Amino acid sequence: MNTGMNVMSTGWTERAAAPGAAVGVVLALVGLAIVGMLIGAFVWGRRRQDRAPRPPRPEEQPRLPGGRPSGPVQEVREPDELPPDSPRLTPHQLRHSSTRSSADQEPSKWSGGGSGAFGSGGPGGKQG
């Protein structure tokens, strides 16, 4: 009976010394190295976050400019035309925009048959 026990323990030693067992040990070491790198990356990121400046308090936040909208504006504009008898303007005398805000901010309504585009099936203009 003693001999059977020796055979079993000898078989285990032979299997442990086989090339397949070395692959298992190497994979375990690679797994431990990856876990160590992940923990190190977490600690490094935490330290870096601790060194970053704190977010601004509400009173330190930037304010919107006064008197101007902060986003896009939708308004009715009209041409800023010159009177017919005015002298000719040179480019440096022109203003930035050739339109101005209209006094009437109600959008214009299309009259029936007044806006026929090519291929729309309409007459393309008023039939008068």
- Whether the per-residue pLDDT at 33 is higher than 90: the answer is yes
What per-residue confidence (pLDDT) applies to 77?
82
Main-chain dihedrals φ then ψ at residue 100, nearest 5 degrees: -135, 165
Q: How many residues in the chain? A: 128
102 exposure class (CB count in 10 Å sphere: 0-12, 13-18, 19+): middle
- Give the residue, 80 or 121, on which the prediction is more confident: 80
Whole-angstrom Cα distance, residue 98 to residue 77? 10
- Give the residue, 64 or 37, on which the prediction is more confident: 37
Read off the pTM. 0.34
**Beta strands 99-101 and 77-79: pairing type?**
antiparallel
**For residue 72, what is the DSSP state?**
-
- As given in the structure block, the two tokens for residue 72 are 């896009």
What per-residue confidence (pLDDT) applies to 13?
63
Main-chain dihedrals φ then ψ at residue 88, nearest 5 degrees: -70, 140
